Amino acid sequence: MPLDGPPKPLNPKKKPDEFREVDYLMCSQCGTPCYVFEMDGSRITEATCLVCGNDEVRLFNLGEESGPDDE
Ligand SMILES: [Zn+2]
């Protein structure tokens, strides 16, 4: 059968990533990686820690932060 158009690329990229993909958030209450969350761009919109029940997005940090966070 004839090919219809050029072959599709194996790994099509929608667009260059503006923000780094976040794998998890760190719950700053108990320090547990948290995988239940929603983000809007680089901003956390929803997050829930299954360990301590924390659901305040202010109390989560991006897991990819480098270095200790002194307060
Ligand atoms: Zn927690």
Q: Report the number of distinct structural domains present in the chain.
A: 1
Q: How remote is the CA of residue 28 from the centroid of ligand 1, in Å? A: 7
Q: Torsion angle, CA of 8/11/16/21, rounded to 10 degrees? A: 150
Per the DSSP assignment, residues forming a β-bridge with 26 are 33, 61
Q: How remote is the CA of residue 47 from the centroid of ligand 1, in Å? A: 10
Report pLDDT digits (tens) over 6-16: 777 776 665 55
pLDDT of residue 70: 58
Residue 33, domain member (yes or no) = yes
Residue 39, domain member (yes or no) = yes
The contacts of residue 25 (CB under 8 Å, 6+ apart) are 33, 34, 37, 44, 47, 60, 61, 62, 63
Q: How remote is the CA of residue 17 from the centroid of ligand 1, in Å? A: 29
Residues of the domain holding 49: 25-62
Report pLDDT digits (tens) over 16-50: 555 567 889 999 999 999 999 999 988 899 999 99
Residue 9, domain member (yes or no) = no
Q: How remote is the CA of residue 4 from the centroid of ligand 1, in Å? A: 53
